[in-house]
Structure 1
Amino acid sequence: MIKNLLFFILSMMIFCSLFITGCSKESKQEEIFERFSKMLSKQDYDNLYALLSKESKEYTSVEDFVTRYTNIYSGIQAIDINIEKDEIDHEKNVIPFSIGMETVAGKVNISNYQLRLVKEGKEWKIQWDESLIFPSMKKGDKVKVYTYKAKRGSILDRSGNLLAKDGVNKTVGINPEVFDLNNREKKIRELATILDISEENIIKKLDNNKHSNYFVPIVDILSNEEKLRKLEDRGNDGIFVDSKDSRVYRNHEAFGRLLGYVGSITAEELEKNKEKGYNATSLIGKAGLEQVYEDTLRGIDGAEIYLERDGEKVETMAKLEPQDGQDIKLSIDSDLQAKIYDEMNGGKGSAAAVNPKNGEVLALVSSPSYNSNRYTTYITREEQQRREESDFADEANRFSKLYSPGSVFKLITAATGLEKGTIDPEKRININGRSWKKDSSWGNYSITRVNDQTSVNLKDAVKYSDNIYFAMSALDLENADFIAGAKKFGIGEELEIGYPLSKSQISNNGNIGSDILLADSGYGQGEVMVTSLNMALVYSALSNDGNIMSPSLVQTKDHKVDVWKEAAILPEHVSTLQPAFSAVINEEGGTANVAKILGVQLAGKTGTAEIKGSKDDKDGTENGWFVATDIDSTKISLAIVLEDVKAKGGSSAAIPIGKNTLYDYFYK
């Protein structure tokens, strides 16, 4: 009995020893797999190398090991590496596993990996070769990445004309090996003169080049530039012109502030958009529509990761097809946009035009602007000098800027007074002199006007732009009704056109806290601030039965023409206001009579907004407005504002711009 018990105990001891040994083997193999998995996921290649067997370390040095992993994983842009083991084959000391990762070619899931283990002393080590990078990879194989470039969407005008597209520019460059042979200084002077850049610019780029037979790019230039002809066939001088894929824009400054431009992505932009598939070489919208519609326009490059053996592709590991960006089509009339800009002749200001019947934005002009191509080519010395002389005025987006509207705001005051019954259009108001104040509570403050009629009705007050009449009208309305009337025209609301614009205001805080401020607001001074588009929309009501349509800039298939402000002018008052504001242009003595165009029935208004620090400020500036809408064909409502017109005749400076633009629009 005792003998049998001893035998049983001995047997159990042997069994437990074998069991513990087996368990210890399994746990240690799993432990080294976990260490392998952790280090590969973290791309900690130095510590990963320490897990390799002696034989593996003889197969590859630590430098080669780390360099190879680094080059391959960074080349395929591997991130979020996840490793999962399958059932371990303890008989063969092999751990099957799979790897999932995000790469330049998208999500990759690769199975059939085998982690082979060998025992060295008391430790398990990894038997490494290239199959642990990719299962079918062998020594000498290369991992290649081919990029399939996606096309960025184009920007088109209302007629389908291209305003921005992916195209080809030219690169003017030098082959130093030929260029430096003779007459180097002379050729630098000639090239600098033709390109209108400094000689120092060329010399610096040549001096920074360390390889005499390398092509040194000097500038990128539009393919149709006239100056390119002077550089053709100059190969014997070492001057060459190559083609380059590039973003190409409508070659006119009128479109720069609207279109914007693209540029190389910055580290900050890359971090901000890290989930969107950008990389260090990506282009991204930097301003204008290119920036606003970046997610729509941008194309997502495709890529293929493959193994190359002896110069031949042997296996594709992953492939991602490119996704071209989507085009956007604008409601902009390119000819109208360019005409307005040219008529503004570099003066600081803004202009906007809309179709009164459907709200389509026909023009959005900021002057001065820039040619978007300068951001994909270069800036000449002449252009840079102009920019410096203007104190870089082209850097401001003026069609998004708020301006005091001055007398063009009087349409809102008139329409509100008619609706509330505080204005009788036929009633004549007796006004003596050119200044007026409500009572002695105003102290030294008074309202002034430029006309001197002693008796005016609504039409006269509009035609001659009588500030006192409209100040009185605003006071008759009182605060709440005046503010409500302005809101009926969208003042104080966002203009949702698919492009960010500054929000107009009736006052700084939305309220009008004094009679003086209310009176000033009645003729568009005070704290009223608007964009040029606001005023184009306000006057469009005269051409659309009193309604203002929802403004739109980008045309889409599912776009619906909607009324934004129904009965901004009550229908029964449109017939009263049309002749009043037509008199401004069509009748002798009207403030914009010089804008009259035979055969076109225009209604509109001029306005001079004083920009002063105080009532007694004698050094303040003036902005000049001209707004007009055609009330017969109802095709266009146009608003123009020019800055700093005090020495240019006030609002009269804007009238020729409007007249010439409208004449061209209707007759050419």
Structure 2
Amino acid sequence: MKQQFPLKNVQQEKRIFRGRVYFATGLVTFFLLLLVARYAYLQIFHFEEFSDAADKNRIRLQPIAPARGYIYDRNGILLADNYPVFTATLSRADVVDIDDTLKRLVPIISLSQEDIDRFQSRIKTAKKTERVTLKLNLTETDIARFSEVKFQFPGVDIETQMTRYYPHGELFAHVVGYVGRINDKELKIIDKDAYAGTNLIGKIGVEKSYEDLLHGTPGYESIEADAHGNVLRHLGRKESTRGNDLYLSLDYGLQSVAAEQLAGRRGAVVAMDPRTGEILALVSSPSFNPNLFVTGIGHDDYSALRDNLDQPLYNRALQGTYPPGSTIKPMEGLGGIHFKTVDWGTTISDPGYFHLPGDSHKFRDWKKTGHGAVNLHKSIVISCDTYFYILSYQLGIDRMNEWMRQFGFGEKTGVDLPSESSGLYPSQEWKMRTRKSKWLKGETISVSIGQGAFTATPLQLAMATAITANHGAHVTPHVLRESKGAKSHPVHNAPNGKINFSGTDEDWIKMRDAMVDVIQTGTGRGIRTPMYQIAGKTGTAQVKSIAQGKRYNEASLTSRQLDHGLFVGFAPAENPEIAIAVIWENGKHGGSAAQIARPVFDYWMLTRKKKPIIPLSHQMSGGLMTAGIKPGELPSGETPLTTNPNATPKPNTGQTTTAQPVTQAQPATTTTEISE
């Protein structure tokens, strides 16, 4: 039977087809319009944003590390130099597996675990396009081995970078300091943009305290690179700005003389200009070679320095706190004048000891039989302890504290060097706060002769001596004399106030005269000279305590139990140009320390202008010109020194340059002084 199908509805089918066509056309048109809108959004409204993103895939900004500023002494002698070294660097953007790359590089460029640890710390915070240092100061062998296999290490390159060199080795180590690799702690606080491409930062001394001036500002180079990190072309460059050059107040010759006097001894010498506060010499002995630290000191070398019993890394001039002994008696005597406890005519009878009322304990004078009748002038000249025992008992510790703090004791001097110690000048409040007990009157007696809880740094003693030389005008010690470069930094070279003193200028003059007699006829007479007049004061600081009733027996003590010798002084006495503080650890007495000070005085007063000590390597056409400074372009008031045109400094020797021979004034005699 034939099946019947209904007739087609052509019109209906056409409508359905047209609807489908319209829908498909509309859908296609919609997505086409959406695509056009998105294209317009990307190309018109966000063109710069995505253009920059695209450029970053091929155009990179490489930081250009700034050259570090040079450091000179007051005469233009170079103390901190720059020289180039070969450095292995890695680009994070071009290395897929950093750990594997490091593992394969270890035998090729002799990467140590310390190098790897430093690199991994730095790369965590580095920008993707920044090149991070793997190892500084590559050897020729390292470079040769890497060159043979460079194709195996895309993203790893050998570049030339500037590093630091200290041409005079140990001589200025504690004051100029040194730079070293940036560590994890420093990475957290530095401005990473400012230190882009930089590996070194100041660690101690001037290098640290003036890091902002010395560092400079980095530049950038725009380069086009392929997918493998190879440079295709250089597109542009913004040069870095070199750090400021610093001229210090230090004098190379004076520093050399002071260091020579302390050679083989433990101690410190600080010399400063009492008129300005400029530090002329700052020596701590023994010292160390700062060049060892620049590219990373080895474990054995550091252990040798750290474990050395003489502590060469310890800056005795700035951080060493010692009982000042009798060196503080001139300041203390002026305190008696200020509080009207004594005057220049006040006389005591010294039987050789003092005891507190109602107490049988005897505080003995250094001279067992006593000095007889003693006034303030004589007490300074012969360093009579008993006079100051009585004076301190009448003043009391709190008034003594109030007065002596005006000279800078018990607080930091404010010197422009890091890690300064404050020393200690005690008070009743201090003892109650720190030791939870009352102050005893007997403790005041010990403090009166610079013993007991009283400690001071050599720098504090130099500043207090300068204030005394200035008749009470206060100066702040500083080593920066002038800064030249892009950054402005004013330097204050003048007194900044005066201590509160109820006496007259005549009292300062009388104290100066007493200190002159210390050198002429008293405990410091071993260094007297007819060439100029020195005002000074010797001091002895006891290291090992002696029981009541026992005598000091030097023969029974070890070399490190002997008393410290101290000396402070200024010259010329009438118009002081230099103030000096000396500490000789276990030097037995202050007269020994005075012997160290005499050649330092002689050089500054007699030799410096006629025959200055200068290093053979100092060349106007070398040291200063490499810094972009014309010969003779020195701080105002200074003149260039004679140089040896045949000498050339050599980096990484670790040796101190030889100084030209100089005819010194006759050395101080070795006459044994009375005491102290």
Classify the TM-score, shorter chain.
0.5 to 0.7
Among candidates 136, 148, 160, match of residue 64 of structure 2: 148
Matched, 1:624 2:556: no
Matches within 5 A, 1:476-515: 476-500=394-418, 501-507=420-426, 511=430, 513-515=439-441
Q: Which amino acid aligns with 1:552?
A: H
CA offsets per residue over residues 208-238 of structure 1, 9 Å max, x none?
74599xxxxx9979xxxxxxxxxxxxxxxxx
Aligned residue number for residue 473 of structure 2: 547
CA distance in 2, matches of 1:307, 1:270: 29
Structure 1's 25 and 296: CA in aligned 2 closer, same or farther, altered over 3 A?
farther
CA distance in 1, matches of 2:211, 2:377: 49
Matches within 5 A, 1:247-266: 247-266=164-183
CA distance in 1, matches of 2:40, 2:430: 81
CA distance in 2, matches of 1:659, 1:245: 41
| Structure 2: gaps of 5 or more residues | 1-18, 88-104, 111-134, 139-158, 432-438, 483-488, 608-676
Structure 1's 170 and 308: CA in aligned 2 closer, same or farther, altered over 3 A?
closer
Aligned residue number for residue 540 of structure 2: 608
CA distance in 1, matches of 2:442, 2:231: 84
Structure 1's 594 and 315: CA in aligned 2 closer, same or farther, altered over 3 A?
closer
Structure 1's 410 and 565: CA in aligned 2 closer, same or farther, altered over 3 A?
farther
Aligned residue number for residue 185 of structure 2: 268
Matches within 5 A, 1:377-396: 387=305, 390-391=308-309, 393-396=311-314
Aligned residue number for residue 166 of structure 1: 82
Aligned residue number for residue 248 of structure 2: 330
| Structure 1: gaps of 5 or more residues | 1-12, 30-87, 100-109, 115-130, 172-206, 213-217, 222-241
How high is the sequence identity, in percent, across the aligned residues? 24
Q: Which amino acid aligns with 1:422?
A: T
Aligned length: 497
Among candidates 274, 287, 291, match of residue 369 of structure 1: 287
Q: Which amino acid aligns with 1:360?
A: E
Contact 2:326 2:538 in 1 (8 A): yes
Higher relative contact order (Cα pairs below 8 Å, separated by 6+ residues) = 2
Q: Which amino acid aligns with 1:273?
A: I
Matched, 1:431 2:311: no
More moved, 461-470 vs 506-515: 506-515
Matched, 1:526 2:452: yes
Structure 1's 244 and 338: CA in aligned 2 closer, same or farther, altered over 3 A?
farther
Contact 2:267 2:582 in 1 (8 A): yes
Q: Deviation at 1:255?
A: 0.5
Aligned residue number for residue 208 of structure 2: 291
Aligned residue number for residue 333 of structure 2: 414
CA offsets per residue over residues 55-80 of structure 1, 9 Å max, x none?
xxxxxxxxxxxxxxxxxxxxxxxxxx
CA distance in 2, matches of 1:422, 1:373: 54
Secondary structure at the aligned position of 1:165 is classed as strand
Secondary structure at the aligned position of 1:555 is classed as strand
Aligned residue number for residue 113 of structure 1: 50
Contact 1:306 1:313 in 2 (8 A): yes
Aligned residue number for residue 341 of structure 1: 259
Contact 1:265 1:280 in 2 (8 A): no
Q: Which amino acid aligns with 2:475?
A: M
Among candidates 506, 520, 535, match of residue 572 of structure 1: 506
Q: Which amino acid aligns with 1:485?
A: W
Q: Deviation at 1:532?
A: 1.1
Q: Which amino acid aligns with 1:609?
A: A
CA distance in 2, matches of 1:278, 1:209: 29
Contact 1:98 1:113 in 2 (8 A): no
CA distance in 2, matches of 1:373, 1:629: 34
Contact 1:151 1:299 in 2 (8 A): yes
Q: Which amino acid aligns with 2:50?
A: Y
Among candidates 554, 558, 564, match of residue 490 of structure 2: 558
Q: TM-score, normalised by structure 1?
A: 0.65
Q: Which amino acid aligns with 2:64?
A: Y
CA offsets per residue over residues 425-482 of structure 1, 9 Å max, x none?
23331121x33212233x5352432363222122221111111111111112233332
Question: Relative to total residues, which structure has the larger strand share, 1 or 2?
Answer: 1
Among candidates 570, 574, 583, match of residue 517 of structure 2: 583
Matched, 1:133 2:90: no
Q: TM-score, normalised by structure 2?
A: 0.65
Secondary structure at the aligned position of 1:548 is classed as coil
Contact 1:353 1:364 in 2 (8 A): yes
Q: Deviation at 1:257?
A: 0.9
CA offsets per residue over residues 580-635 of structure 1, 9 Å max, x none?
11111111xx1111111222111111111113468569875522101111113411
Secondary structure at the aligned position of 1:439 is classed as coil
Structure 1's 383 and 640: CA in aligned 2 closer, same or farther, altered over 3 A?
farther
